[in-house]
Structure 1
Amino acid sequence: MLSAGIERFGYFEQLAAISRGEAEFASLLPEQHRYDVHFEDLPH
């Protein structure tokens, strides 16, 4: 099957690892451009 867009399987795998405590959120920061997701600092 072909589909448009960016391959995001690795992104969702990384999110799952973060939710299980196996990875830090900071591990996603270098991947922002690869998965076309951009994190911003929001005021608390």
Structure 2
Amino acid sequence: MLSPGIERFGHFEQLAAISGGQGEFASLLPEQRRCDVHFEGLPH
């Protein structure tokens, strides 16, 4: 069985790494469209 969250699992792993100081926020930017997550107020 598949659920909608399966495709986003890597995204949530990245969030955990970033919050733990083991990843860079910029690593999320390429995933915005694929995960339908859009960050507002980012410097261009």
Tell me the TM-score range normalised by the shorter chain. 0.7 to 0.9
Alpha-carbon separation, structure 2, partners of 1:13 and 1:4: 15
Q: Which has the higher helix share?
A: 2
Identity of aligned residues (%): 81
Which structure would you say has the larger Rg?
A: 1
Gaps of 5+ in 1: none
Kindly report the root-mean-square deviation, in angstroms, between the aligned alpha carbons of the 2 structures: 2.0
Q: TM-score, normalised by structure 1?
A: 0.76
Considering Cα pairs closer than 8 Å and 6+ residues apart, tell me whether 1 or 2 has the greater RCO.
1
Aligned residues: 42
Q: TM-score, normalised by structure 2?
A: 0.76
Q: Which runs of 5+ in 2 are unaligned?
A: none
